[in-house]
């Protein structure tokens, strides 16, 4: 069925609507409001994330933001803040790595892990993850358990926002046969309509059509799709023991690089990264700075530290040096972010997370 050992299972861990949920936790006044995250509706911006409340109104990811606001007029629209979402994901990683031996990051807010099977161990571990993320970060998270990445990522869709869903190895065929073809990757709306016209609205009915019919309808994709419908997925979980990078960022009101606001911001970001590393017993060897100016242009610089560090003052001094290397004639800054890399092997500790700190002056 897959490349995993028979004694292993895959967890697919996901914060649904990650951008929207992170924004909800940043501003507690949004706790029960529909949220839309994306581009400026006046500039043909697109919808990138929507809370459950907004999706229940009928919004669809990727639709124009202007249209999304018409579909859900009660929604709060927020601009995309990737620096903050990366920061939030970094803290989510810290929380998950406390509980798991290794983690393969899939995207912001989601990851795979492989664990050894024991009696009730997979579900117990998944429930522990859900409780820990809720307690430490205040985020809802769902976990799918299956014998492969494909099955785990499929069964997790049976959980609306927070909780655990599991498919045991011996039940995979029955589970897959019931799944709608709309859940298959690389099968678009037109292909779905053709398959539905042939009576194949589920994976079980799709397989019943046979390879010749499926090849005629799906072309070169047919072989892979038949394999997935059988539950075959050879992709291993490529877990790493620590994050490759950690980032923090903040927006600025268009002030020059030498202003006190920028200095205070760099200190806050540097200290925040240092705290993240210290909590995991990690150190970083590289630091980079990314700047966005009032004209929306970007600049980035990086350097290698003399030795691995987890010191806020070391990171601040390096960031200040990099900032001085960028000369834009006094043009105002709209955002700044710091990233540390070259992260050393961790010495595990018992971190207490502080994802949504109150704003500092």
Residue 3: which pLDDT band, with cuts at 50, 70 and 90? Answer: very low
Among 79-83, 128-132, 239-243, 323-327, whose mean pLDDT is lowest? 239-243
Percent of the chain with pLDDT strictly greater than 90: 50
Q: Residue 112: its pLDDT value, please?
A: 96
**Mean predicted confidence (pLDDT) in 166-187:** 90
Residue-wise DSSP of 56-120 = TTT--TTSBHHHHHHH-TTPEEEE--HHHHHHHHHHHHHHHHHH-S-BEEEETTEEEEEEE--TT
- The string of pLDDT tens digits covering residues 88-118 is 888 898 889 888 888 899 999 999 999 886 6
Yes or no: say if 155 and 145 are a contact pair by the CB < 8 Å rule: yes
Residue 360: which pLDDT band, with cuts at 50, 70 and 90? Answer: very low
Answering whether pTM is above 0.85, one says no
**Mean predicted confidence (pLDDT) in 283-293:** 92
Yes or no: say if 140 and 162 are a contact pair by the CB < 8 Å rule: yes
Give the highest mean pLDDT range of 67-76, 79-88, 272-281, 325-334. 67-76
Q: Taking 60 as the threshold, does the pLDDT of residue 5 lie above it? A: no
Mean pLDDT (the chain) is 87
What's the token pair of residue 139? 């985020």
**Mean predicted confidence (pLDDT) in 187-208:** 88
Main-chain phi, psi angles of 311, to 5 degrees: -100, 125
Yes or no: say if 49 and 34 are a contact pair by the CB < 8 Å rule: no
- The string of pLDDT tens digits covering residues 209-259 is 999 998 988 888 888 889 999 988 888 998 876 777 888 888 888 888 888
Q: Residue 346: its pLDDT value, please?
A: 43
Domains of the chain: 8-18+83-172 (3.30.70.270), 19-81 (3.40.1170.60), 246-341 (3.30.1490.100)
Q: Residue 282: its pLDDT value, please?
A: 86
- The string of pLDDT tens digits covering residues 119-157 is 568 899 999 999 999 998 889 999 999 999 999 999 999
Q: Residue 161: its pLDDT value, please?
A: 87
d(CA 294, CA 249): 16
Among 48-52, 89-93, 189-193, 351-355, whose mean pLDDT is lowest? 351-355
Which of 15, 225, 2 has its CA nearest to residue 114? 2
Percent of the chain with pLDDT strictly greater than 70: 92
- The string of pLDDT tens digits covering residues 44-58 is 899 999 999 999 999
Q: Taking 80 as the threshold, does the pLDDT of residue 205 lie above it? A: yes
Residue 348: which pLDDT band, with cuts at 50, 70 and 90? Answer: very low
Q: Residue 355: its pLDDT value, please?
A: 44
């Amino acid at each position: 069925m897959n490349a995993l050992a028979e004694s292993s299972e895959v967890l697919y861990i996901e914060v649904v609507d990650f951008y929207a949920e992170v924004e909800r936790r940043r501003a507690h006044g949004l706790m029960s409001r529909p949220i839309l995250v994306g581009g400026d509706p006046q500039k043909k911006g697109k919808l990138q994330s929507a809370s459950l409340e907004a999706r229940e109104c009928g919004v669809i990811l990727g639709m124009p933001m202007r249209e999304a606001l018409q579909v859900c007029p009660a929604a709060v629209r927020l601009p995309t803040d990737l620096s903050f979402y990366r920061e939030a994901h970094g803290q989510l990683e810290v929380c998950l790595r406390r509980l798991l031996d290794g983690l393969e990051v899939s995207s912001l807010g989601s990851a795979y892990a492989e664990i050894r099977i024991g009696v009730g161990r997979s579900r117990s571990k998944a429930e522990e993850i859900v409780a820990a993320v809720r307690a430490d970060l205040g985020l809802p998270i769902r976990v799918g358990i299956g014998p492969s990445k494909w099955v785990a990522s499929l069964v997790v869709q049976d959980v609306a926002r927070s909780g655990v869903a599991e498919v045991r190895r011996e039940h995979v065929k029955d589970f897959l046969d019931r799944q709608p073809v709309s859940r298959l990757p690389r099968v678009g709306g037109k292909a779905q309509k053709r398959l539905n016209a042939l009576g194949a609205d589920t994976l079980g009915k799709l397989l019943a059509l046979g390879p010749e019919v499926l090849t005629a309808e799906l072309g070169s994709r047919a072989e892979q799709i038949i394999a997935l419908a059988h539950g075959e997925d050879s992709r291993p979980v490529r877990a790493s023991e620590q994050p490759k990078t950690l980032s923090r960022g903040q927006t600025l009101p268009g002030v020059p690089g030498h202003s006190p606001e920028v200095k205070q911001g760099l200190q806050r970001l540097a200290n925040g990264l240092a705290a993240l590393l210290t909590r995991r017993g990690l150190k970083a060897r590289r630091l980079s700075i990314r700047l966005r100016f009032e004209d929306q242009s970007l600049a980035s610089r990086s350097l290698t530290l003399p030795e691995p560090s987890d010191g806020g003052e070391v990171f601040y001094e390096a960031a200040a040096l990099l900032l001085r290397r960028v000369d834009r004639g006094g043009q105002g800054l709209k955002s700044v972010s710091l990233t540390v890399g070259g992260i050393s092997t961790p010495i595990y500790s018992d971190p207490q997370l502080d994802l949504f700190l109150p704003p500092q002056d």
